[in-house]
Amino acid sequence: MKRLITPACLMVVCLLLLAEVGARVFFAQDISGRFDYGYNPQAGFAERADGTVELFRAGGRRFHPQTFKRHRPPGTFRIFVVGDSVPRGPSFKTAYPWFLGDELRRHDIAAESINLALPGYGPRRCQVVLQKILEYEPSLVVLHINDTNKWEDEREWRRSQEFKGWHPRHWLMKVFIFRRLYEAKLEKVFWPLVPEAIRLKYAANDADAQVAAAQDPREIAARIRLAEETAAENVAMLRQRRIPIILVTQCRLEEDPRHGLYLSDHGLDPLGATLVGPGTYHISMKDVFSRRDFRALFTNFSGHLHKEGHQVLAHAICEKIELEQAALGLPMAKVAVAGRPPDPPIMGPNPQPVVPKP
């Protein structure tokens, strides 16, 4: 009987072991939360010894690379923007969080405006990010409310739970290289080879399943209900910590054969309005853009904006900050909306803006 353990077998095992150790030791930051698909709170946040927090792309989070201090510097107005691909924008410097911070700094506010928006993130995963950033002493949180990414949240949750636990059948998938090969096989090799009829039968085709979910009245009601529940939880969490929050209810560009182009809020605006209270403010994207020629501001039939649309939204948030500056702890004379000359500034200590690195 031939030996089961041969020199060649041992060599393969040793190579796999070395590869695993190398990945865990030298690329620990990159693979942290890699298979949690956005449900690992720490993924994408690197806390350095000097007190700097670096945002990077890892663990299902494609953050715009940025840095900021873990503890908010004295006199700094720190804004965190949390949401999906709409506030994330076409690029770091053409998204409204950049314009918002720039506008505030031009009016003598030592402002940090940090873009934590992530494509495909729905209420559940945005809540995970929101809970994490409470550690970093925000002065204001701008939270986007959208109902269209519930399906992605649920799909990624199922993927993140697929090989949890230490049952022997999961052992192989605890090895990074095998788990990555399994993931690649599903995404790049296996699904394209499966016949269309089988994919439809088992709802394995993500696009088809998502379209079906978007049109199902029960699923639409469930999306709105989830948005309501998570928004109420988020507001309660921030109120308890006395952190101001601006809720931005999103809208989409849509077209009707009879009435032409219009903006639809999917029923989110009433939700945002009901949550307004002490320290909680609301901005409706539908209201902001309905007063303009909005077709040129949207990229397509969705909620995504061109650079000019992001500038409009930044101005609207600046205006809200101006209206509520006393409650936000800002000197009355320091904020002015774009296009309106500011009052003479009250000069205090020379603030040094901290600009997140692109």
Task: Tell me which residue of 135, 136, 95, 102 sits closest to 118, measured CA to CA.
Answer: 95
338-357 pLDDT tens trace:
444 444 333 333 333 344 44
Question: Strand 45-47 to strand 61-69: parallel, antiparallel, or no bridges (unpaired)?
Answer: unpaired
Burial class of residue 3 (count of CB atoms within 10 Å of its CB; 0-12, 13-18, 19+): exposed
Provide the 8-state DSSP code for 344: P
Lookup result for tokens 């494509």: 119
Phi then psi for 69, rounded to 5 degrees?
-80, 140
pLDDT at 160: 73
Conformational region of residue 344, where left means phi above 0, alpha means psi within -120 to 50, and beta covers everything else:
beta
Q: What is the mean pLDDT of the chain?
A: 80
pLDDT digits (tens, 9 = 90+) for 132-149: 999 999 999 999 999 888
- Give SS3 for 63: strand
Strands 260-264 and 252-256: antiparallel
**DSSP classification of residue 343:** P
Per-range mean pLDDT, top range of 19-23, 117-121, 309-313, 337-341: 309-313
pLDDT of residue 329: 86
Which domains can be identified in the chain, with CATH numbers?
A: 45-151+216-323 (3.40.50.1110)
Tell me the CA distances in angstroms from 188 to 34, 58, 85, 192, one per residue in order. 17, 19, 23, 7
Tens digits of per-residue pLDDT, 263-277?
999 889 999 999 999
